[in-house]
């Protein structure tokens, strides 16, 4: 069983068909046996991404609403949620400074790194950071976190 941390740029691919969707769906399939993590703020980020696409016409409003309903179910039952703690925010500030990351990107990476630290301290297997943002993936690998970009899996 592999453990994957999904940032919102990768997780949204489960709810909107685009490059990488099939690969993300294969990782998230219950039959895969993988454990899936994301940070709590991904909830707001995913819903915002869906309705932003609906507003621009890239996604029908009914499709955004249906995807939102499914995401909310999955968010409560399928994903292991990493909480935004003081430690995560402190690390996010450092990461934003070190790698010139956007605010929520730094929180996503900080949450994954904190999860990785906890897992390593408990002698558990490492996680893989799944993200569709090249800059954020570079920052993750610079922080010794294995990263996969779903956009490279068409």
Separation CA 128–CA 46 (nearest Å): 20
Taking residue 72's Cβ as centre, other Cβ atoms within 10 Å add up to 13
Residue-level pLDDT at 1: 81
Separation CA 87–CA 84 (nearest Å): 8
Q: What is the mean pLDDT of residues 60-77?
A: 97
* The model's pTM: 0.96
- Which pLDDT tens digit goes with each residue over 72-100? 999 999 999 999 999 999 999 999 999 99
Residue-level pLDDT at 63: 97
At the fourth CATH level, the homologous superfamily of domain 3-152 is: 5'-nuclease (3.40.50.1010)
Structure tokens at 5: 């941390």
């Amino acid at each position: 069983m592999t453990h994957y941390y999904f940032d919102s740029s990768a997780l949204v691919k489960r709810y909107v068909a685009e490059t990488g969707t099939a690969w993300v769906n294969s990782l998230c399939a219950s039959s895969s046996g993988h454990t899936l993590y994301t940070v709590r703020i991904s909830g707001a980020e995913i819903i915002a991404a869906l309705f932003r696409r609906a507003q621009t016409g890239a996604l029908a409003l009914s499709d955004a609403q249906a995807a939102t309903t499914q995401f909310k179910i999955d968010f409560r039952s399928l994903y292991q949620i990493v909480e935004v703690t003081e430690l995560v925010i402190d690390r996010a500030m450092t990461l934003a400074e070190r790698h010139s990351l956007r605010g929520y990107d730094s929180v996503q990476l900080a949450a994954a790194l904190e999860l990785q630290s906890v897992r390593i301290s408990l002698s558990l297997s490492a996680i893989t950071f799944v993200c569709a943002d090249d800059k954020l993936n570079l920052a993750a690998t610079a922080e010794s976190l294995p990263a996969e970009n779903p956009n490279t899996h068409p």
